[in-house]
Structure 1
Amino acid sequence: MIRVVVIDDEALVRTGFTHILDAADDIEVVAAVSGAQGATCVAELRPDIVLLDIRMPDTDGLTVLERIRRLPDPPVVAMLTTFDTDEYVATALRRGAAGYLLKDTDPERLPLLIAELADGATVLSATVTRTVVSGYLDHVEGGSGEPAATRLVDRITDRERAVLLLLAEGLANSEIGDRLHLSTGTVKGHVSAILGKLEVGTRVQAALLAERAGLLRPVRDGDGGER
């Protein structure tokens, strides 16, 4: 069972997401709360996935994200936004968000996207543009742009590079394991090593860095396609 917390200041949004996700057999929304309650709720309930509104009037979504990311073994956080050009998205990815979804995501797709997030997949809205997220590399230690990305990618082993290429396609741990004939646990170990060597905090940052370094693999979008 995938345990989810929805954090949004709009009651209608909370109710809608809860109704859609609770209808899935393997997903349980354990709480749906406003931004002010968000970090405390997550600390108490320890969900697997958090859907977090990026803009809330009572509490800044980026602040809530930072508090959640400071928790021991923090859950996967996907940001919710109304606009695919939201200028806060790049900041959220730099601060540890695993991806983001538009609030008008197809309801039939939403449970599948939650399952993919739980399995380690990179999930972005279908309309996300590289200009929204590419700015995160400016904050990578050692510089920005292709030279810095290449230097970081050169640190990893051949096996880790193979994992990174599949990670950059947005594949989940189980899918990477199937492709490379590895156990899911082994894939998780490689991913952890990759994140450390690339000096990034999340898979989506590693995937985008790999693209910037010239590995040129598409990232899966929120509608199941590729970019």
Structure 2
Amino acid sequence: MKKILVIDDHPAVMEGTKTILETDTNLSVDCLSPDASEQFVLRHDFSAYDLILMDLNLGDDISGIELSKKILKENPLCKIIVYTGYEVEDYFEESIRAGLHGAISKTESKEKIMQYIYHVLNGQILVDFSYFKQLMTQQKTKTSSSPQSEQDRLTPRERHILQEVEKGLTNQEIADALHLSKRSIEYSLTSIFNKLNVGSRTEAVLIAKSDNVL
């Protein structure tokens, strides 16, 4: 029997996912709500699980990918999948770069979630053909032209968020405008700052405009 751990800050989501997964008698599922303390990773034996489903937004003080990095640092053989309610394409590549086994949407059917889990358990990653084709096209563009800058790798959502930042909106106002959580906006801004190598919203807008990203 394979042991699965669902990490989420919403009890109803955890229990619902547990119920769905345990319709497969080969899966045993535990649930865990995280906290932002430095001791969280050390208090739990994540190596006991064959796979972890990790929510992306875990509250104001912690993100799923950052928590996953900490778990992988202590347990490098762990297999972790981002389990999110947002667009998977926005986080898939970043998840892979962080050492995770991709991402899947909470809105997918039970059959597709099960399929993805079993692929990962077998050491594989399942990618939709349309998204794979998009990645291949981007790769061909990179190899046939000059090296792509970090600015050029901003996602459409990140560009949209920067446009809202330029208007002077707060993180909460941007979240309301884009129908996202405040935590999601903060996480995206962190990603933008890292890509543009800046430390503030003003710098990000100025750099993006100077390089014709906006």
TM-score by length of 1: 0.51
Aligned residue in 1 for 2:55: 53
Give the whole-Å Cα distance in 2 for the aligned partners of 1:82 and 1:48: 23
* 1:71–1:132 CA distance, 2 compared to 1 (3 A): farther
What aligned pairs does 1:127-146 form with structure 2 within 5 A after superposition? 128=131, 145-146=142-143
Aligned residue in 2 for 1:71: 74
Give the whole-Å Cα distance in 2 for the aligned partners of 1:19 and 1:133: 37
What aligned pairs does 1:73-92 form with structure 2 within 5 A after superposition? 73-84=76-87, 87-92=90-95
Q: Which runs of 5+ in 2 are unaligned?
A: 145-214
Q: Residues 27 and 111 of structure 1 are in contact (CA less than 8 Å); yes or no, is this contact kept in structure 2?
A: no
Q: Residues 8 and 33 of structure 1 are in contact (CA less than 8 Å); yes or no, is this contact kept in structure 2?
A: yes
**DSSP-derived class of the 1:4 partner:** strand
Aligned residue in 2 for 1:19: 19
Q: CA deviation at 1:40?
A: 4.5
Q: CA deviation at 1:92?
A: 2.2
Give the whole-Å Cα distance in 2 for the aligned partners of 1:125 and 1:36: 33
Q: Residues 47 and 78 of structure 2 are in contact (CA less than 8 Å); yes or no, is this contact kept in structure 1?
A: no
* 1:56–1:127 CA distance, 2 compared to 1 (3 A): farther
* 1:7–1:127 CA distance, 2 compared to 1 (3 A): farther
Q: Which runs of 5+ in 1 are unaligned?
A: 138-143, 148-227
**DSSP-derived class of the 1:3 partner:** strand
* 1:70–1:64 CA distance, 2 compared to 1 (3 A): same
Give the whole-Å Cα distance in 2 for the aligned partners of 1:61 and 1:53: 6
What letter is aligned with 1:93?
I
Overall identity of the aligned pairs, in %: 19
What letter is aligned with 2:143?
E
Aligned residue in 2 for 1:207: none
Q: Are residues 1:2 and 2:2 paired?
A: yes
Count residues in correspondence: 140
When Rg is computed on C-alpha atoms for both structures, the one with the higher figure is 2
What aligned pairs does 1:61-210 form with structure 2 within 5 A after superposition? 61-84=64-87, 87-124=90-127, 128=131, 145-146=142-143
Q: Residues 2 and 27 of structure 2 are in contact (CA less than 8 Å); yes or no, is this contact kept in structure 1?
A: yes
Give the whole-Å Cα distance in 2 for the aligned partners of 1:127 and 1:36: 36
Give the whole-Å Cα distance in 2 for the aligned partners of 1:56 and 1:132: 28
What letter is aligned with 1:22?
E
Aligned residue in 1 for 2:33: 34
**Normalized per residue, which structure has more helix?**
2
Give the whole-Å Cα distance in 2 for the aligned partners of 1:69 and 1:90: 17
